[in-house]
Structure 1
Amino acid sequence: MIDWVPVIFVAFKVLILATCMFFAVKWHYDQGNKGADRRTVLRAGGKVAGIFMLAILGLGLATFGLASMLGMDLRLP
C-alpha cells in the first residue's frame, strides 16, 4: 500500500495541474476575444505585478521571522 501513495499523489497533482492549465488558457483566450483596450489591460497587469511583489515580500519577511523565532542561524557564510 505504501508504494502506491506517491503514484496516487503524483497522478492527482498532474490531473489538477492539467485541469487548471486548461481553464487558464481558455480564460485568457476568451479575454483576448473581448477586445479590451490596452490601457485597461496594462493597469490590470500592473496591479497583479504589485500584489505579487507584496506577497513575495510578505512571505520572505514571515519566513525570516519564523526562522529567527525558531533560533536558526541566518548569517551568510
Structure 2
Amino acid sequence: ADMVDMETFACLRACQLFGVPLIGLRGISDGAADLRHVGDWTEYLHVIDEKLAGAIGLLEQAIASGTIRLGSRQGLD
C-alpha cells in the first residue's frame, strides 16, 4: 500500500457509530527512503503545513458556498 491511515479510520468508525460526519485530511511526511535522522522527517513539514492550510481554506470555501454540506449523507456513503 502507498499509505495506510488507521487513525482516521478509527475516527471514522466512531463518527459512523454516532452519525457524525467526518472529513479527514492528512499530510504525508514519509518519503520513499528510510528515515535516518530527524531531519529526514522534518525537512518538508513546512510544505505539508502550507498544502494542508490551502486545503482547509478550500474546504472552508466549499462549506460556505454550500458545495459541501456538513451533516448530509451526500458523498459520505
Q: Which has the higher helix share?
A: 1
Which structure is higher in RCO with an 8 Å CA cutoff and minimum separation 6?
2
Larger radius of gyration: 1
TM-score interval (norm. to shorter): 0.3 to 0.5
TM-score (norm 1): 0.36
